[in-house]
Amino acid sequence: MRTFALAGCGRISKNHVDTLLELEKEGAAKLVACCDPIPTRARAIAERTGCRPFQSLESMLDEVQSDVLSICTPSGLHPAHVEAAARRGVDALSEKPAGTDLAAVDRAIEACDARGVHYFVVKQNRFNRSVALLRRALEAGRFGRLYMISSNVYWTRPQDYYEQARWRGTWEFDGGCLSNQASHYVDMVQWMGGAVESVQAFSATLARRIEAEDTIAVNLKFRSGALGSINATNLTYPKNLEGSLTILGERGTVRIGGVALNRIEQWQFDAPDPMDGEVEGANTNPASVYGFGHLPYYRHVLEVLEGEAEPLLTGREGRKSVEIIAAAYESARTGRAVQISGRNSASK
Ligand SMILES: NC(=O)c1ccc[n+]([C@@H]2O[C@H](COP(=O)([O-])OP(=O)(O)OC[C@H]3O[C@@H](n4cnc5c(N)ncnc54)[C@H](O)[C@@H]3O)[C@@H](O)[C@H]2O)c1
């Protein structure tokens, strides 16, 4: 049985707590402590789960031993909280995005390397059945050469959403719709399309009173020569409309849509394959755009800890999206295309 501590008891923590309660029933994992500077939030989780509540991360980590720290704090704090876990030899499981500052993510990677602990980043959409099926088709070479990979994230976040917490929409702790809402889609595009060579973007803050963007159009050039784009906005009227990924290749076309990559809308290849029979069953209908992926993600993490699987989403993997997002923001600021180095300082 692996023990988990939880940092940050806000909105997304519910997915982690639900998942850990499910895994506890199976005897696989247990939540032993949680912390939040807002004491009522930590107490509510403690009452539900029987774990110990804390107001400070440091005192929680000092007083309660756990195998893994699950980090659900504001995005700009993730790397420092990964480091806090690593210093104590505790594995870190960070919510997406890995961070808002590439240098801080590099320091977190180095800290985990130095202590030999795992650094996992949550990108639960990779575990959607539709996405996993697409990935299998890609790995089987069914697309041939890739030509174009594009993603639309047409979601809605009213001003109220930003008023709920002061970190939202700030450059330091959040970023805008690309860094927050679309970061899963940035990950999808780079996971499917491979290494990105350069990025060019226009962004705007058209309607929300926030520091960062509420709308962005990003163009990508992949090292393979393929092109791509990500269009993201939080201004869709009147509600979330689309979270999609389209891949156009030499011998295949796939589009996964729905509000959050939950429905295969196009699945065409030049040659049939037994996996085509799985397309219908891969469609799901999640109640929220967070989807169903946290449970399968935690199962994957437990398999890695047991030595039964290779980690799919490490700090280095999460860093790739952070670098693309940072490049898009730099391009939007400067009006120039920005090259992606793809090297983190710990790998030099
Ligand atoms: N995987 C997903 O689909 C998904 C969905 C939503 C949010 N997220 C990510 O989860 C993170 C949290 O988002 P949220 O919507 O739950 O935000 P939230 O504001 O609802 O919750 C964050 C919580 O962290 C607490 N906190 C702040 N500083 C802390 C500290 N030093 N130690 C402990 N707790 C601290 C806050 O008091 C708050 O309760 C963000 O990085 C966001 O991008 C991921």
- Say what the pLDDT of residue 346 is: 57
What number is the average pLDDT over the span 100-122? 98
Over the range 240-253, which residues count as b (16 or more CB within 10 Å of their CB) and which as e?
Answer: bbbbbbbbbbeebe
Q: Calculate how far, in angstroms, residue 23's C-alpha sits from the geometric centre of ligand 1.
A: 22
Distance of CA 55 to the CA centre of its chain: 26
Contact assessment for residue 254 and residue 268, using Cβ atoms and an 8 Å cutoff: yes
Describe the chain by its helix, strand, coil percentages, rounded to 5: 40, 25, 35
From atom 38 of ligand 1, which residue's Cα is the shortest distance away? Answer: 10
- pLDDT tens digits, residue range 204-220? 999 999 999 999 999 99
pLDDT at residue 348 tops 50: no
- Say what the pLDDT of residue 259 is: 87
Question: Phi and psi for 149 in degrees, rounded to 5?
Answer: -130, 120
- Say what the pLDDT of residue 163 is: 97
pLDDT at residue 61 tops 70: yes
Q: Which atom of ligand 1 is nearest to the CA of 124?
A: 1
- Say what the pLDDT of residue 342 is: 74
Q: Which atom of ligand 1 is nearest to the CA of 165?
A: 19
Q: Calculate how far, in angstroms, residue 128's C-alpha sits from the geometric centre of ligand 1.
A: 22
Calpha distance 114→132 (Å, rounded): 32
- Say what the pLDDT of residue 287 is: 63
Domain ranges in the chain are 2-123, 125-284+318-334
Calpha distance 111→242 (Å, rounded): 38
pLDDT at residue 169 tops 60: yes
Q: Which of 72, 123, 325 has most ligand 1 atoms within 8 Å of its beta carbon, as the pocket-test mutant?
A: 72
- pLDDT tens digits, residue range 136-157? 999 999 999 999 999 999 999 9
CATH 3.30.360.10 fits 125-284+318-334, yes or no: yes
Q: Which pLDDT band holds residue 283 (cuts at 50, 70, 90)? A: confident
pLDDT at residue 123 tops 50: yes
Q: Calculate how far, in angstroms, residue 36's C-alpha sits from the geometric centre of ligand 1.
A: 10
What is the DSSP annotation of 72-136? -S-GGGHHHHHHHHHHTT-EEEEPSSS-S-HHHHHHHHHHHHHHT--EEE--GGGGSHHHHHHHH
Q: Calculate how far, in angstroms, residue 96's C-alpha sits from the geometric centre of ligand 1.
A: 10
Mean confidence (pLDDT) of the chain: 95
- pLDDT tens digits, residue range 190-199? 999 999 999 9
Q: Which of 6, 11, 101 has most ligand 1 atoms within 8 Å of its beta carbon, as the pocket-test mutant?
A: 11
Q: Calculate how far, in angstroms, residue 11's C-alpha sits from the geometric centre of ligand 1.
A: 7
Same fold, 2-123 and 125-284+318-334: no
Containing 209, the helix (H) or strand (E) segment is: none
Q: Which atom of ligand 1 is nearest to the CA of 73?
A: 24
- Say what the pLDDT of residue 347 is: 54
* Dihedral class, residue 168 (left if φ above 0, else alpha if ψ from -120 to 50, else beta): beta
Domain spanning 2-123, CATH architecture: 3-Layer(aba) Sandwich (3.40)
Residue 345: both structure tokens together: 């300082």
Q: Calculate how far, in angstroms, residue 78's C-alpha sits from the geometric centre of ligand 1.
A: 9
Contact assessment for residue 228 and residue 220, using Cβ atoms and an 8 Å cutoff: yes
Q: Calculate how far, in angstroms, residue 72's C-alpha sits from the geometric centre of ligand 1.
A: 4
Contact assessment for residue 247 and residue 226, using Cβ atoms and an 8 Å cutoff: no
Indicate the SS3 state at residue 310.
coil
DSSP state of 51: P
Q: What percent of the chain has pLDDT over 70?
A: 96
Question: Phi and psi for 243 in degrees, rounded to 5?
Answer: -135, 100
The dihedral over CA atoms of 130, 132, 133, 135, expressed in degrees to the nearest 10, equals 120
- Say what the pLDDT of residue 68 is: 98
Ligand 1 pocket, residues with Cβ under 6 angstroms: 7-12, 35-38, 41, 57, 72-75, 77, 95-96, 122, 124, 165, 180, 290
Q: Which of 95, 128, 131, 294 has most ligand 1 atoms within 8 Å of its beta carbon, as the pocket-test mutant?
A: 95
- pLDDT tens digits, residue range 247-276? 999 999 999 998 889 899 999 999 999 999
Q: Which pLDDT band holds residue 345 (cuts at 50, 70, 90)? A: low
User: Could you give the angle at the alpha carbon of 121 between the alpha carbons of 118 and 123, nearest 5°?
Assistant: 145
Whole-model pTM? 0.96
